[in-house]
Structures are given as structure tokens and as C-alpha cells.
Amino acid sequence: MFTSVKAFEGQQYSTLKRQCLQSGLLFEDPRFPATDDSLFYQGNRIGRVVWKRPRELCEDPHLFVDGISAHDLHQGQLGNCWFVAACSSLASRESLWQKVIPDWKEQEWDTEKPDSYAGIFHFRFWRFGEWVDVVIDDRLPTVDNQLVYCHSNDSNEFWSALVEKAYAKVYGCYEALDGGNTADALVDFTGGVSEPVDLLEGQMATDEVARNQLFERVLKVHNRDGLISCSIRATTIEDMEARLDCGLVKGHAYAVTDVRKVRLGHGLLAFFKSEKLHMIRMRNPWGEKEWSGPWSDSSEEWNKVSKSEREKLGVTVQDDGEFWMTFDDFCQYFTDLILCRLINTSYLSIHKTWEEEVMRGSWVHRQDPLRNRSGGCINHKATFLQNPQYVFDVKKVEDEVLICLQQKEKRATPKEGKGENLAIGFDIHRVELNRKYRMHSAQQKVAGSIYINSRCVFLRKELKEGRYVIIPTTFDPGQQGDFLLRVFTDVPSDCKELTLDEPPQTCWTGMCGYPQLVTQVHVLNAEGLQGQDSNGDPYVIINCEGERVRSPVHKDTRCPSFDIKGLFYRKKPKEGIHIEIYNKNMIVDTFLGQVILFSDPNERQEQHTLHLRDKGSRQDNDLPGTLTVRLITSTMLNNI
């Protein structure tokens, strides 16, 4: 996973550490100095800050004391509960935190080898499609000899403060972490795909079926090492961090640290009893202020569960910020859930694997309509199709497709002021099976994401077999930025960018001719195909000037709804277009009939219902069955 880790700002950890050990000097990071510029955008807001190394704060510093735990983290004077909540989730996954904190044993303070200490650490984050290795020194901001920002329960444990410093370096300064999105941090820790779930929109509090389905999804993400966060939406400034009577806090990110089906009862009764409670455990990054309702730490509901089950769940009666709730109560109070999936692309896994395609692109504004790549959303019909376009294939009868669009973040440019994300989103259009040039007129839109000014936009969609085009856009035209498009399918989708507007001119064009006409053939459906004994497995083939487009096979029907399109750039517009129907057979496919269409270049669009005929016949020998076809012709190449 880390074979191509990139050194952040060109700083190589091993080289810098070796230089420090050779010189006998502790590392001082020139790229993130111990000054107010590394703390704030503009001016000091907390008074005199003294930067101190861990050995100046305690006698026996460590990265970890008694291992790593979600309880290690306490939010400091930054409004970065989103980051601390993500760290709490990370701490519960050994396989994940060891990637963010590489070589952790080698980085640990060694009392037996004090000369190996060089005051330098490094951490890794996934940033815009690649892992980056971030080097820092261990000077930490303090006021009155106390850490200002993230800190641990144990005064001599420093992993959380050092990870926070490395993350602040990536963003430019500590203040850049004041207010943010937990989903972004979860993705940065894992390289996964973040899926937001709106519990209000999904009516999870009242729809029991939907709620149970969501619980199974949450449980699956948790069991497959995904990271999860949640929050209660604040609708006003006054609501931010307001505490409810039940102990929960609005506008505040919580880490989900466990998801379980809990057996009710004691002894053998619990083992044989089928009743299980859907439970979820969360942690407040403040390390205090917990849920006080049913199944809170000291509530009498825990008497319904055996002692061994309580021990297994780690139930403690202390105000440590961690607490259990039923999933029903969770959906009653919480409004937003973030599921960060680790997309499994390993061919050796026993779990479902995905095929990933990664595309990098840019929204670039130009005056020339054919070169402009910043056309805005579909509301701007005149410029929408000037955006970048990416084609991909769904090769199964139906496939679940995951699509994630991520913009290059502007938060990490503090010198120009705190950057704001663009409002971004994307649409998916079903296109001709042989589409290989850019779209210039709208096709059938089958799905679309929301438009929001977050770093990532995610969509999960079941799509039928066929070819599709994704159009990632900014909401308004003329806006510029870089983006990363990730497409996950069950089988390879052959995703690629459409860059050409029409067939290119070549040195052979003069001799072989250049297309004079574009024709789109849309085969809609067939009725009453021959085969009286049983239904067949028909498919259709469109032939035009040597190019063939073949539809998927439609199982067990005599009246298939083909709904397929082919696009043909034609040099001989007077020649007919052959449409043939076959029945799929294990040995030899059976011919069911054909029609031949002659398009009129003067007709923009026409629809035909045609009788199927024998091969080679244009007038006689009608066969059982009809075919409905729509033809769209255009004399302008860049008009479809």
C-alpha cells in the first residue's frame, strides 16, 4: 500500500534523522517552525505560547502508554472535535493506526539508547490520491507548561499531540483545523471512501425496516475495519455545542467505537434466547459529557445483560466520554452518520472485492466552448456539456457502483486566507454502447449526486448493464480547480476520459473519406418474437458500415425491452442500417429476424415500428415479431 509514499515537501525522514544523529543536534523543522505562523492564520489568539519538547514536560515521555486507545485523546483549545473524533476511531483499529504511525517502535523513546533520540517524528496521511509522509520535530505549543491542543489522559503520552501537529503542518497551521469535516479526516487516515448518511432524510427514527437495514450496513462497515463518526446537526450558531437534557451535544463530532448485537438475559437463557439488541458505542472527544438515557453507564438496563456480556462490551461506570446506546435511540437523537469504507481491492480476500478506477482532472475555464472545461451544473444547459466527461461500462446485468468525487482542498493555503471549497457534484448519463467521443447533447440522466461545498461527494447506485458517462462539475460555471474521480465496480469498468469531440482527421481521410453524417440508433423493444414453444433469450445486433453494436442478452422473454443505443459516424449515408435479432443458444445462436433502416438526413428524429423479416429480404417473408426503433440523424458531427 505504501510502495509509492511521497515525502511531504521533499523532506525525507531517514535522511534528516541520520543528519541529526551525526551532528548531535535535535531536529528543528524549518518548514513548520516553532512560531505563531505555525499556530494562526493572522495573529496570536491565546497569549504567550512556549514551544516545548516532551522531555521538557515530563521525565519519561512515550508515544504510547499501555498501548493506544480511544481514551487517550482529549480535545484542546481548537474547535477540531472532527479531527479528534476521527483519531478516536483510528485508535480502535491497530491495522490502520500502524499505517498512520509507521515504524512506531523505532519512533518510540528508548531509555536504554538515549543517543538514538533526535527530536524527529514522521506520520502518513492519504492526500488527494496518494500517501504522503510528513516529518515534524517534537516541539509542541504550551501555555503555563500545559499542552494547548490535543493531549492524552497520561501526561507522558504524546502520540495524539504529535499526530495533530503533523496534520496541522499538512494544512498550514493549527488554526486551519478549527472547524472541519470528520469525513475528511477519516479518509486521510485510511484512503477509504466516505459515505454520509442523513438520518433525518432517511426517516430512520420512524421507519423500522430502513433502520434495521442501516444497522446491518453500519455493522458490516465496522466489522470490516471501516471508521465511523456521527453528530447532531446544529441549525443555529447558538445551537453549536449546546448540551441536550440527555447529555448529548449538538454540532459536535462523536467517534463510533463499537457496534454490536447484544444478547439479553443471563446464563444459558441468554445463549438460547433469540432476542438481541442493536447497540452502538460512541465517544465524546472531550473525554466527558455522556449520554444519560437508557443503557448509559450506570443505568439499570444493564441488569438485563449478564456480567460476562458486560465485561465483553467493556461497560465502565465513569465519565470518560464513552457510552452505549440502542440503535433506536441513536436514530432518534443523531442526525448525521459518516461511514468510511475501506474499499477492498485485494484478489486474495474472502470478502467482496471491488475494481477501482482513479481519474485525475481539472475544471479549467476557457473562452473557446470546445476547450472550456468549467461549464457548471446541468442548470447551465448552454455550458454543462463543456465539463470533463468520463465513460465507463457496467458489464453485469446489474451492478452496484460506488463513485467518489474529491476536489483538491483549499484549506491548506492559509497564507491567502482560509480557503473555501467549491460546491461540486456530478451527473451520470446512460449513453450509446459504442460511445467514444464527447457528448454534445444531453442523454438519458440515470443518477446524480448532491451539490455541496464539501471536499468529497459520494454516490452509491445500482446500474443496469451498459455504457455510462460521468460529468463532474462545479455548481457555477467558470470556477476552476483540480479533482479526483474514483469509480468502484464489481468487474473492471474500463473507465477513461473522453477527450475528442469527433473522429480525428488523418492522412488517410482524403482517400478513405470522412464521416458526412452522424446517426444514433435507439432500439427500444420487440414484441411477439417467434418461438412458440417457449420464451427465448434474445439479443439485438446493430450493423452500420462494418461497425457492430450488440446488446446484452435478455433472459426468458419473447417481448424484450432492449433500450440500447448505438452511435455511428457514417461515410455512406445512403446505405441501410441492419438490425438483427438472435436467440442465445449454447452451441449456435438462432436467427429471429432483421430489419433494414434507411435514414433521411433531413429528418432530425423519427420512430419506426417494423416487422421482422428473413435475412436479405426487404419486402417479403414477414416473420413473427415487430421491432420499435428510434433514429436520430444530424449533419453536424459535434452535435450528438
CB burial readout 64-80, b (16+ within 10 A) else e: bbeebbbbbbbbbebbb
Rounded CA gap, 183 and 162, in Å? 21
- Residue labelled with grid coordinates 477540531: 80
pLDDT band at 637 (very low <50, low <70, confident <90, very high): low
pLDDT at residue 513, rounded to an integer:
81
pLDDT at residue 42, rounded to an integer:
73
Give 55-99 pLDDT, tens digit per residue: 999 989 999 888 887 777 788 887 788 888 888 888 888 888 999
Give the contacts of 172 (CB within 8 A, at least 6 positions apart): 411, 412, 413, 414, 415
Least confident of 272-281, 295-304, 372-381, 470-479: 272-281
Give 419-452 pLDDT, tens digit per residue: 688 999 999 999 999 999 999 988 899 999 999 9
Give 25-42 pLDDT, tens digit per residue: 999 999 999 999 999 887
User: What are the phi and psi torsion angles at 55 (to 5°)?
Assistant: -70, -15
pLDDT at residue 350, rounded to an integer:
59
pLDDT band at 1 (very low <50, low <70, confident <90, very high): very low
pLDDT band at 566 (very low <50, low <70, confident <90, very high): very high
3-class SS of residue 471: strand
pLDDT at residue 27, rounded to an integer:
96
C-beta of residue 425 within 8 angstroms of C-beta of residue 377: yes
pLDDT at residue 529, rounded to an integer:
85
Q: Where are the alpha helices (DSSP H) in 453-583?
A: 509-512
Mean pLDDT of the region 558-587: 91
Q: DSSP string covering 253-278, please?
A: EEEEEEEEEEEPBSHHHHHH---EEE
In percent, how much of the chain has pLDDT > 70?
A: 91
In percent, how much of the chain has pLDDT > 90?
A: 52
Mean pLDDT of the region 505-532: 83
Rounded CA gap, 245 and 558, in Å? 63
pLDDT at residue 533, rounded to an integer:
54
User: What are the phi and psi torsion angles at 115 (to 5°)?
Assistant: -70, -10
Tell me how many degrees the CA angle 355-360-366 measures, rounded to the nearest 5: 145
pLDDT band at 417 (very low <50, low <70, confident <90, very high): very low
Q: Residue 503: exposed, middle, or buried by beta-carbon count in 10 A (0-12, 13-18, 19+)?
A: middle
CA atoms within 13 A on the CB side of 77: 14
Question: Of 484, 419, 482, 483, which Cα lies nearest the Cα of 173?
Answer: 419
Give 298-314 pLDDT, tens digit per residue: 788 888 877 777 777 76
Question: How far is C-alpha 180 from the chain's CA centre?
Answer: 17
Rounded CA gap, 46 and 441, in Å? 56
Rounded CA gap, 138 and 278, in Å? 43
C-beta of residue 54 within 8 angstroms of C-beta of residue 40: no
Question: How far is C-alpha 105 from the chain's CA centre?
Answer: 32
Rounded CA gap, 338 and 254, in Å? 10
C-beta of residue 52 within 8 angstroms of C-beta of residue 139: yes
pLDDT at residue 448, rounded to an integer:
95
Mean pLDDT of the region 567-590: 90
Q: For strand 389-407 and strand 481-489, is the pairing parallel, antiparallel, or unpaired? A: antiparallel
Q: Please give the mean pLDDT across all residues of the chain.
A: 87
For the annotated catalytic residues, the residue numbers are 81, 252, 284
User: Residue 633: is its pLDDT beyond 50?
Assistant: yes
Rounded CA gap, 322 and 88, in Å? 11
Partnered with residue 212 across adjacent β-strands are none
Torsion of CA 436, 441, 444, 449, to 10 degrees: 90
Give 265-306 pLDDT, tens digit per residue: 655 454 555 568 899 998 887 767 778 889 887 788 888 877
User: What are the phi and psi torsion angles at 572 (to 5°)?
Assistant: -125, 75
User: Residue 2: is its pLDDT beyond 50?
Assistant: no
Q: Where are the alpha helices (DSSP H) in 410-497?
A: none
Torsion of CA 60, 65, 70, 76, to 10 degrees: -10
Mean pLDDT of the region 503-524: 85
Longest dimension (CA), the chain: 99
pLDDT at residue 625, rounded to an integer:
86
Tell me how many degrees the CA angle 261-266-272 measures, rounded to the nearest 5: 65
Least confident of 216-225, 414-423, 500-509: 414-423
Give the contacts of 444 (CB within 8 A, at least 6 positions apart): 429, 430, 431
- Residue labelled with grid coordinates 488523418: 506
Rounded CA gap, 280 and 218, in Å? 9
pLDDT at residue 601, rounded to an integer:
62
pLDDT at residue 110, rounded to an integer:
83
CA distances from 524 to 30, 115, 469, 562, 566 (A): 66, 77, 20, 5, 12
Mean pLDDT of the region 5-13: 95
Percent helix / strand / coil, the chain, rounded to 5? 20, 35, 45
3-class SS of residue 221: helix
pLDDT at residue 373, rounded to an integer:
97
pLDDT at residue 35, rounded to an integer:
93
User: Residue 10: is its pLDDT beyond 50?
Assistant: yes
User: Residue 611: is its pLDDT beyond 80?
Assistant: yes
CA distances from 67 to 154, 263, 307 (A): 12, 29, 25
C-beta of residue 226 within 8 angstroms of C-beta of residue 340: yes
User: Residue 388: is its pLDDT beyond 80?
Assistant: yes
Give 217-262 pLDDT, tens digit per residue: 999 999 888 899 999 998 888 888 788 899 899 988 898 989 998 8
